[in-house]
């Protein structure tokens, strides 16, 4: 699918991987709608890129529907929205708190599904392009879906669910010419790691076999753009991690 001239929605697009994707798609000629909870950052980025911003909580159907409608004629949907939480299944302080587990799954997994289902439904109305495509949906998992560390049970469960949705969603939508892909990033230089001291960030990057550094958000954006443009990429999760396999801690 051509990026140029297509209308794109980037959920969680105000910062980090989402912002890099919005930049890449806009540079490729897409008309971009940024959906995010952070209105200040989202509006600033939209103004910079000549894009549209819609305030959106991905767990709320009406707000996601409004974002999809704002990107009328939607052909490219990328969901980068997500949160994290660190706590063991059980320990000296008792069992893992229930509410944070539910919140992480709700935002990361259910929120991603919410964007996927509503974006795909809107894409059904599109005329197919020369390849028979009506749209492309890209979701964001994590290598924690496969290599969850100590204290990552909530995050890993939510990201594992996103990975697990990929193939059945692609099969559901294949006859309509809508592709579904997932990117599973490793350690990336995003706001989640921005609060760490530089020494700690460098040490994390050195765990990566090659290149021995944190991933750059624009590398995620480049992969998202390639997925859009390569019609044979469908129903798969791509690890974007420099061959990293996370240790237990």
Positions annotated as catalytic residues are: 155
Instruction: For the sheet with 7-11, list strands across it.
Output: 52-55, 31-36, 7-11, 74-79, 135-140, 178-185, 237-240
For the four alpha carbons of 168, 173, 177 and 179, in that order, the dihedral sign comes to: negative
> For residue 117, what are the contacts with CB-CB under 8 A and spacing of at least 6?
none
Nearest to 33 by CA among 119, 153, 147, 150: 119
Helices 16-27 and 39-49, axial angle in degrees (round to 10): 20
Q: What are phi and psi of 221, to 5 degrees?
A: -60, -40
């Amino acid at each position: 699918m051509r990026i140029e001239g297509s209308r794109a929605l980037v959920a969680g697009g105000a910062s980090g991987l989402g912002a890099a994707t919005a930049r890449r798609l806009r540079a490729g000629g897409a008309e971009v709608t940024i959906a995010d909870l952070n209105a200040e950052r989202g509006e600033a980025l939209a103004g910079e890129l000549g894009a549209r911003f819609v305030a959106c909580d991905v767990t709320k159907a009406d707000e996601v529907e409004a974002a999809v409608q704002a990107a009328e004629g939607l052909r490219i949907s990328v969901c980068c929205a997500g949160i994290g939480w660190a706590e063991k299944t059980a320990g000296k302080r008792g069992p893992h708190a229930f509410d944070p587990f539910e919140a992480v799954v709700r935002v990361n997994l259910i929120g991603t599904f919410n964007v996927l289902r509503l974006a795909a439904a809107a894409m059904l109305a599109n005329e197919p392009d020369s390849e028979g495509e009506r749209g492309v949906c890209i979701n964001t998992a994590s290598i924690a879906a496969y290599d969850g560390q100590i204290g990552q049970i909530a995050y890993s469960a939510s990201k594992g669910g996103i990975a697990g949705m990929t193939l059945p969603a692609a099969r559901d939508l294949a006859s309509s010419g809508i592709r579904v892909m997932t990117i599973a990033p490793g350690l990336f230089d995003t706001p989640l790691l921005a609060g760490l001291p530089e020494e700690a960030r460098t040490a994390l990057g050195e765990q990566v076999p090659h290149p021995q550094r944190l991933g750059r958000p624009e590398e995620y954006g480049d992969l998202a753009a390639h997925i859009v443009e390569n019609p044979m990429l469908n129903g798969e999760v791509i690890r974007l991690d420099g061959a990293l396999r996370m240790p237990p801690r």
